[in-house]
Amino acid sequence: MTIIFWFKRDLRVYDNRALYAASKLGEVLPIFIIDTDILDKFEAYDLRLGFIITALQKLSEEIPLKVYVGKTLEIFDYLIEKYKPKAIVTAEAFTWSGEERLKKVETLAINKKVRFVKIFDNFLADFRKIKNFWSFSSFYKKWKEKLDLEIIGKFNVKFLNPKEEPTWQEATKKLKYEINKFNAYDAEKFLKYDFSKYRKLRKFLNGSTRLSPYIRFGILSIRHIYNLGKISEKFVKELAWREYWYALKNLYPYMNNLELREDRRNIKWDNLCLDAFYNGETGYPIIDAAIRQLKSEKWIHNRLRMLLASFFTKDLGGDWRLGEKFFSKHLIDYDEVVNVGNWQWVASVGTDYAIRIFNPVKQSKELDPKCEYIKTYIPELKDVPCIYLHDPITYRIPGYFPPIVNYKETRQKVKTLFGLSYKEKT
């Protein structure tokens, strides 16, 4: 009997719990759908699509993967009619759009009397069982008690390989995309990462693991990654942050649009000079360089994400929902839940009471003391003394955009935006 296995954010065979469950039910037809509705929404003819296609290519070297380009429901309709499967098996989805898509397919399957099986995978703990927490630290304690680290590893699957169904090459012929610099399946790279030095290395703009797109698309199993990195408690904590946002989303499913903190729901965001921000023309070289890196490479370091989100919400008074949307268009590791959670956190409307303001001048000096990063992404500034580049308010940078705001006025601005809920951090 045919079992359709639907790959989504778990583009791997090794330690794939949902695929393992499918293998126990019958002969497996493995499929992936490049959904044209999603492509249209995210302007995805870019590196992100290239990354996915590279991953599909690598996966196809291991199994007879069938790849479809089109609307998810139409493709399932076709497959169900043609193969009369005994079941459709897939990993459970937890993002807003993922849940919606899954629900539609599940309904279709039920209407057509096909069994629909969803398997929990791609998280280290079942975050749905973690309740009664608010701060990350209270979550983290409970999360550690719920860790489920059992690795299935390699297992046998009997795959079907109907020749008339499209391979990744056939399916993607009509798509324009760039194969990008991130080499999917480059597990070697991570084996070489020195996790014992993670706490120190992660502070450098090129020193963190860069695992995020591999985690986002499930190219490496999260348990496998945990095993590589468990020598560093700091690293494990970072993995827990991802699950913290999902646990919060599970309890407060409205958080994609509404502030978690009730007392900070009526902020009148100024939305000042947002176009200059989107174009990387703020006049603050560290901010502009980060925007250029984000747009060209689709990835930036966590410290830069925090700096950008702070500048956007605090210095420009930009609504965090707009900032979140901007990141969603560019990040190769874009994850709805993680992005929303982090934007709320930096905007000080999430679970954290403190109102943090990142000083862009101080951050520039700290993150890029010799201005190497700035000069890499804004080469036209290569001859400007570093001291100017850090502090464009004190020093006018010749021939460069004047600063769109004075960061020294931010504290006052934030007081006005946050009103009564603003308290100086001592």
List the one residue from 23, 212, 351, 364 that touches ligand FAD (CB under 6 A).
212
C-alpha 393/C-alpha 403 separation (Å) is 7
Exactly one of 121, 165, 315, 335 binds ligand FAD (CB under 6 A); that residue is 335
Identify which range of 158-166, 171-179, 237-245, 254-262 contacts ligand FAD by CB under 6 A: 237-245
In angstroms, the Cα distances linking 168 to 30, 67, 91, 173, 180 are 12, 5, 21, 8, 17
User: 313-339: buried (b, 16+ CB within 10 Å) or exposed (e) per residue?
Assistant: bbbbbbbbbbbbebbbbbbbbbbbbbb
Largest CA distance in the chain: 72
Q: Which of 319, 333, 368, 391 binds ligand FAD (CB under 6 A)?
A: 333
Which residue from 361, 357, 360 is spatially nearest to 411, judged by alpha carbons? 357
Q: Of 91-99, 255-263, 302-310, 386-394, which segment contacts ligand FAD by CB under 6 A?
A: 302-310
- Give me the 258-297 binding string for ligand FAD, x by CB under 6 A, dash otherwise: ----------------------------------------
Q: Which part of the chain contacts ligand FAD (CB under 6 A), choosing from 149-157, 201-209, 254-262, 277-285? A: 201-209
Are 44 and 86 within 8 A, CB to CB? Answer: no
Give the DSSP letter of residue 402.
Answer: P
Beta-carbon count within 10 A of 306 CB: 16
Contact window for ligand FAD (CB under 6 A) among 72-80, 148-156, 235-243, 387-395: 235-243
209 contacts ligand FAD (rule: CB under 6 A): yes
Decide: is 215 part of the binding site for ligand FAD (CB under 6 A).
yes
The residue length of the chain stands at: 426
Q: What is the C-alpha to C-alpha distance for residues 231 and 197, in angstroms, rounded to an integer?
A: 10
Shortest reach from residue 245's CB to ligand FAD, in Å:
6
Size, binding site for ligand FAD by CB under 6 A: 28
Does 242 interact with ligand FAD (rule: CB under 6 A)?
yes
Q: Does 311 bind ligand FAD (CB under 6 A)?
A: no
| Stretch 339-368 residues interacting with ligand FAD (CB under 6 A) | 339, 342-343, 346
Q: What is the distance between the alpha carbons of residues 311 and 72, in angstroms, rounded to a whole number?
A: 38
Of 241, 278, 353, 388, which lies in the binding site for ligand FAD, with binding defined by CB under 6 A? 241
Considering the complex, what minimum distance in angstroms separates the CB of residue 25 from ligand FAD? 31
